[in-house]
Structure 1
Amino acid sequence: MQLFRDLEPLSSEYRHGALTIGNFDGVHLGHAQIVRQVRQRADEVGGPAVVFTFDPHPVRLLRPELAPPPLTWTRRKVELLGELGIDAVIAYPTTHDLLDLSPEAFFEQIIVQKIAAKAMIEGPNFNFGKNRAGDTTTLASLCQQHDIQLDILTPFTREGESEFVSSSRLRKLIAAGEVQTARDMLTQPYRIRGMVTHGAGRGASLGIPTANLEAIDTLVPDIGVYAGMAYRNGQTYAAAINIGPNPTFGEKARKIEVHLIGFQGTLYGEPLEVSFLSRLRDVTAFSGIDALKQQLALDIETTQQIFQDYQANSTP
């Protein structure tokens, strides 16, 4: 898997293959359906499977007040797409010059000249070029002119559902704390990252030390207590996660506190990534320290079980 931030160093190894263009925020099952087709077409034409995405999302330049909180950062997106079989991700810098290209100019300069695609795969709502003027009809015409094979896939829906899987749908679920429902629509459990900072130290005083996460650049789930996983130095830990205030101690500030089960040591000043498996309960004010400790012990026990079940079911 290769990540490119520009098209100038794109060697012949990463040209003349199958291409899809999109934001791929979250890398969900709908994206996976597209990637499978990209991989298949790439193998048929004897070239690479390539994703072209925008960094940042074009809305952040055009209408920043309307820009949705992202679900994935670029490196994580690349990692997830690589797991699905993509050979190269082009995370192209989004500029006003790029967004001012007409559909025809974008197609000619990017798809034909720089990437030299032999096949393209997109969803039915694909738009490109200035003011999103190009659609799948435009794309089909341009692909035909340049002898590029084109597949337009129907939106992915899960069995028994009518609403298709999308990044906007996932964003609503995660914002509401429905991380387990979201997990069933993602290729991997929803993950955030942040820097570990000093907190009040109450967790350590209770015998349950926590890492306080700040500087998070993606969507944070709703207030609640969650079972999840934390990643450090190549190791994965079951993690009990608290998002919200600490009402038992009269605190109102919203914090993200992560207890890495079985971890010994300090994490201050380190980056930490955390995935969410399930929501356990609401954030509650307890009558005293003993009641709080009893509930935290139960949260940890439940988290360990959920973590073990997830690992057992996700092992190939």
Structure 2
Amino acid sequence: MILLSGFTDPAAYRGGALSLGNFDGVHRGHQEMLRRLIAKARRLGGPAVVLTFEPHPLALLAPERLPPQLTTLPEKARLLAELGLDCLIAYPTDRELLQLTAEEFFQRIVREEIHARGMVEGPNFCFGRGRGGTIETLRTMCDAAHLDLTICEMIAFEGQDVSSTSVRTALRDGRIQDANFALGRAFRMTGHVAPGARRGRLLGFPTANLDRIETLIPRNAVYAGRVNISGMDYPAAINIGPNPTFGEHAQKVEVHLVGFSGDLYGQTIHVDLLDHLRDITKFESVDQLREQLGRDIERTRAIAATLQPSVDQSSFARDE
């Protein structure tokens, strides 16, 4: 897959099928859109292209309303590439772009710049200044320009539409399995390993303390997860939040890699969350905490052994 910052390589994106959107999380709904986009591009004989905006337009228009992201741009690009996308354009968002009306955006970007011959979008798609263009606006424009438009249905889980917002809500509630089902894989946090209080090492459970996490951090709790180091998967018990047993109230993300020995300081690691273990608890003694950590580790081993990193998506496949 080719990743571009703006319209710098026309040969990579012209004459195929296009989807516009943020694609934050690359969840099951996005995956269905990508499947249809790629199928359409192959029929048209051109590239499958996604145009997204970096940063999110709300970062300029209303930063106080900007939601925490589920995926960084490199992670989003990796996931889209794995799905088979040909070209991802991460357009540097600016005020000039945001002032384009829906009609101007369609003509200048979709038609004149990208030369799209087909499009795939979701039912709630909006575009142009003030989100003035709706999916019906796009349908009318595509019909007039003889562009092949596919509108994907929303994918639902337990009566709720799958969306980036629903994934954020599940993570904020600590419902990791619900979030992972909507994503079609384990939710990933990426962070830099920084020095900590080294208290975990004294307890017999050394931890990697993560900072510089650019994505949403789930609700305070203890979670089971998985970390890959140098090609080897390790079960991981993750503590998100304070450490009340020792009177600490600072928010931390601490990861204990089961069976790993080595120095991770200064490294960047990817933590895949698999399930919720328990809420944060203040223990009466250090011995009680140590005993509970041992139980956490055993449950983490069992969960990591049974839950796979990704979820089967075959039931969501549909013909174009």
Shorter-chain TM-score category? over 0.9
Write the mapping of 1:66-105 to structure 2, written as runs, cut at 5 A. Answer: 66-105=65-104
Tell me what 2:285 maps to: 288
Using the TM superposition, give the Cα deviation of residue 314 of structure 1 relative to its aligned residue in structure 2, in angstroms: 5.9
Q: Helix, strand or coil for the counterpart of 1:245?
A: strand
User: Which structure 1 segments of 5+ residues have no match?
Assistant: none
Asked if 1:202 is matched to 2:207, the reply is: no
Write the mapping of 1:45-194 to structure 2, written as runs, cut at 5 A. Answer: 45-158=44-157, 161-194=158-191
Using the TM superposition, give the Cα deviation of residue 278 of structure 1 relative to its aligned residue in structure 2, in angstroms: 0.1
Q: Helix, strand or coil for the counterpart of 2:249?
A: coil
Decide which of 255, 258, 261 is 1:258's aligned counterpart. Answer: 255
Using the TM superposition, give the Cα deviation of residue 313 of structure 1 relative to its aligned residue in structure 2, in angstroms: 8.1
The one-letter code matched in structure 2 to 1:152 is I
Q: Structure 1: how far apart are the matches of 2:108 and 2:230? A: 41
The one-letter code matched in structure 2 to 1:154 is E
Using the TM superposition, give the Cα deviation of residue 239 of structure 1 relative to its aligned residue in structure 2, in angstroms: 0.8
Relative to 1, partners in 2 of residues 1:263 and 1:121: Cα closer, same or farther, differing over 3 Å?
A: same
Percent identity for Structure 1 against Structure 2: 47
Decide which of 260, 269, 272 is 1:272's aligned counterpart. Answer: 269
Q: Structure 2: how far apart are the matches of 1:163 and 1:73? A: 25
Asked if 1:37 is matched to 2:36, the reply is: yes
Decide which of 224, 229, 233 is 2:226's aligned counterpart. Answer: 229
Tell me what 1:245 maps to: 242
Q: Structure 2: how far apart are the matches of 1:230 and 1:153? A: 34
Using the TM superposition, give the Cα deviation of residue 137 of structure 1 relative to its aligned residue in structure 2, in angstroms: 2.0
Relative to 1, partners in 2 of residues 1:34 and 1:312: Cα closer, same or farther, differing over 3 Å?
A: closer
Q: Structure 2: how far apart are the matches of 1:166 and 1:312? A: 20
Contact 2:139–2:149 (Cα < 8 Å) also in 1: yes
Q: Helix, strand or coil for the counterpart of 2:51?
A: strand
Contact 2:181–2:311 (Cα < 8 Å) also in 1: no
Q: Deviations over 1:8-39 (max 9, x none)?
A: 2232x432111111111111111111111111
Using the TM superposition, give the Cα deviation of residue 85 of structure 1 relative to its aligned residue in structure 2, in angstroms: 2.0
Using the TM superposition, give the Cα deviation of residue 100 of structure 1 relative to its aligned residue in structure 2, in angstroms: 0.6
User: Which structure 2 segments of 5+ residues have no match?
Assistant: 314-320
Q: Structure 1: how far apart are the matches of 2:199 and 2:79? A: 36
Tell me what 2:316 maps to: none
Count of residues in correspondence between the two structures: 313
Relative to 1, partners in 2 of residues 1:261 and 1:315: Cα closer, same or farther, differing over 3 Å?
A: farther
Q: Helix, strand or coil for the counterpart of 1:303?
A: helix
Tell me what 1:17 maps to: 16
Q: Structure 2: how far apart are the matches of 1:162 and 1:208? A: 41
Tell me what 2:318 maps to: none
Q: Structure 1: how far apart are the matches of 2:220 and 2:30? A: 28
Q: TM-score, normalised by structure 1?
A: 0.94
Decide which of 213, 216, 219 is 1:219's aligned counterpart. Answer: 216
Asked if 1:307 is matched to 2:304, the reply is: yes
Q: Deviations over 1:262-306 (max 9, x none)?
A: 221111111122111000001112222222111111111111111
The one-letter code matched in structure 1 to 2:87 is A
Q: Structure 2: how far apart are the matches of 1:313 and 1:34? A: 18
Q: What RMSD in Å do the two structures reach over aligned CA positions?
A: 1.7
Relative to 1, partners in 2 of residues 1:255 and 1:66: Cα closer, same or farther, differing over 3 Å?
A: same
Relative to 1, partners in 2 of residues 1:133 and 1:312: Cα closer, same or farther, differing over 3 Å?
A: closer
Contact 2:189–2:213 (Cα < 8 Å) also in 1: yes
Q: Deviations over 1:54-73 (max 9, x none)?
A: 11111111000111111110
Using the TM superposition, give the Cα deviation of residue 235 of structure 1 relative to its aligned residue in structure 2, in angstroms: 3.4
